């Protein structure tokens, strides 16, 4: 016996004619993923408040960054709306176009990019910086999702497997050469999740599980010296507390000093006194600032918001009817999860220090735009799916 759908269905006669705002109202509450929107706005509001707070504590050089972040969010919101209402099922052309454009940008940045702190990751445009690697991650998720959702696609066939490896390996190599190992590994994790959800056979999964330690060992010796030092400091906290291990040690102390409820907004001392590097206290190390000022309760609320965000994305992955939409959701969810888990993990010594910002919270224009792209694509899948609930399966 077929189970009745629990999703409310509007009868055409119930939709009022000639009153646009009522039709918009009904559409808004029957099509839009309100939970995801509320979570996104909450996370951004938290981030904007603490970017403002760290800027006032650090001085004039960073005191206006919250305004730039707000500008990026407004632009990102327009991108989100555009992607949301475009039917993702017709984005195949965009997927095959975005990939080569991202490769061109990654090559360009290696030769003509702006160098900061020993890494060439940015392109300067009119006083703003564009980070091609973040946009490339979106392009790769979209492209691999479309590639593996083609009618004849079979990830267990050698040619399709080699094709996927080659198409992922090229941007991975270019991002690694910047160097930006953290971003490259996040992209690799997102593709791995898509490949796994494309029904990769267990014998290949076991083979990869055996291969990973070998590749990781070889990769360690190919790292830059500062990257190896970060791993050494992570494994031995007392190794270099005054240099390579300073930031991670201070992040741990800031988190610990927050206690249960924190010291209060803009009352934290680790950022104000410069113990946390003020150049990254609003980006890579914004979580210790939040933890010190809002304590364990504030930190748990933040983590809870990320869990809700991931729930909305994976819920959409469960109800969508086609592989393309499912792969987009899975790749986006893994990207956001990796950024959140690694960023928070490195602040409490569960992961080595790496330059992965906290989604929607950390300062960073290109990453914020990229995150809004992921969410816009996922929301397009939600809007254009006939099912809205896991009970409709």
pLDDT in tens, 33-61: 999 999 999 999 999 999 998 888 766 56
Query: Is residue 241 very low, low, confident or very high in pLDDT (cuts 50, 70, 90)?
Result: confident
Does residue 8 carry a pLDDT above 70? no
112-116, 248-252, 334-338: which has the highest mean pLDDT?
Answer: 334-338
Does residue 6 carry a pLDDT above 60? no
The answer to whether residues 287 and 347 touch, using CB atoms and an 8 Å cutoff, is yes
Burial class for 221, CB neighbours closer than 10 Å (0-12, 13-18, 19+): exposed
Does residue 15 carry a pLDDT above 70? no
Mean pLDDT score, 223-243: 79
* Structure confidence at residue 3 (pLDDT): 43
* Structure confidence at residue 84 (pLDDT): 92
Query: Is residue 137 very low, low, confident or very high in pLDDT (cuts 50, 70, 90)?
Result: very high
* Structure confidence at residue 301 (pLDDT): 97
* Structure confidence at residue 221 (pLDDT): 79
Mean pLDDT score, 208-236: 82
Containing 115, the helix (H) or strand (E) segment is strand 114-116
CA distances from 117 to 102, 272, 281 (A): 23, 22, 16
Which residues have a Cβ under 8 Å from the Cβ of 364 and sit 6 or more positions away?
Answer: 131, 283, 357
Q: How far apart are CA 310 and CA 36, in angstroms?
A: 9
* Structure confidence at residue 93 (pLDDT): 86
Lowest mean pLDDT among 50-54, 176-180, 196-200, 211-215: 211-215
Q: Shortest CA distance to 357 belongs to which of 376, 374, 370?
A: 370
User: CA 48, 51, 55, 56 torsion: positive or negative?
Assistant: positive
Containing 375, the helix (H) or strand (E) segment is helix 365-383
Mean pLDDT score, 141-166: 94
- More confident site: 138 or 276: 138
- pTM value is 0.89
Percent of residues, the chain, with pLDDT higher than 70: 89
φ and ψ at 121, to 5 degrees? Answer: -125, -10
For the chain, give every domain's residue range. 42-392
* Structure confidence at residue 208 (pLDDT): 85
Does residue 191 carry a pLDDT above 90? yes
């Amino acid at each position: 016996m077929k189970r009745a759908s629990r999703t409310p269905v509007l009868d055409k006669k119930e939709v009022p004619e000639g009153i646009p705002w009522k039709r918009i109202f009904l559409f808004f509450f029957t099509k839009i993923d309100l939970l995801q929107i509320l979570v996104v706005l909450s996370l951004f509001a938290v981030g904007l408040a603490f970017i403002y707070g760290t800027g006032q504590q650090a001085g004039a050089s960073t005191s206006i960054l919250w305004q730039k972040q707000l500008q990026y969010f407004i632009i990102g919101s327009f991108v989100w709306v555009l992607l949301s209402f475009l039917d993702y099922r017709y984005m195949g052309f965009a997927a095959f176009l975005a990939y080569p454009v991202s490769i061109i940008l990654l090559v360009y940045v290696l030769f003509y990019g702006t160098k900061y702190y020993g890494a060439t990751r940015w392109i300067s445009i009119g006083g703003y910086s564009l980070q091609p690697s973040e946009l490339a991650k979106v392009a790769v998720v979209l492209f691999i999702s479309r590639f593996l959702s083609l009618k004849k696609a079979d990830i267990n066939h050698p040619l399709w497997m080699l094709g996927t490896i080659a198409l992922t390996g090229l941007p991975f190599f270019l991002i690694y050469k910047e160097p930006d190992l953290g971003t490259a590994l996040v992209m690799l994790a997102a593709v791995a999740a898509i490949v796994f959800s494309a029904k990769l056979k267990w014998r290949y999964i076991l083979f990869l599980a055996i291969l990973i330690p070998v590749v990781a060992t070889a990769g360690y010796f190919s790292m830059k010296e500062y990257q190896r030092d970060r791993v050494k400091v992570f494994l031995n906290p007392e190794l270099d507390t005054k240099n390579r291990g300073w930031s991670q040690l201070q992040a741990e102390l800031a988190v610990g000093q927050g206690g249960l409820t924190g010291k209060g907004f803009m009352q934290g001392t680790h950022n104000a006194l410069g113990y946390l590097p003020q150049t990254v206290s609003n980006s890579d190390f914004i979580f210790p600032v939040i933890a010190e000022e809002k304590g364990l309760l504030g930190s748990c609320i933040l983590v809870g918001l990320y869990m809700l965000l991931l729930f909305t994305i994976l819920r959409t992955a469960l109800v969508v009817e086609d592989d393309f939409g499912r792969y987009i959701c899975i790749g986006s969810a893994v990207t956001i999860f990796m950024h959140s888990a690694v960023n928070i993990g490195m602040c409490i010594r569960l992961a080595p220090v790496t330059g992965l910002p906290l989604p929607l919270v950390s300062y960073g224009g290109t990453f914020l735009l990229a995150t809004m792209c992921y969410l816009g694509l996922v929301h397009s899948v939600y809007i254009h799916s006939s099912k809205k609930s896991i009970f409709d399966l």
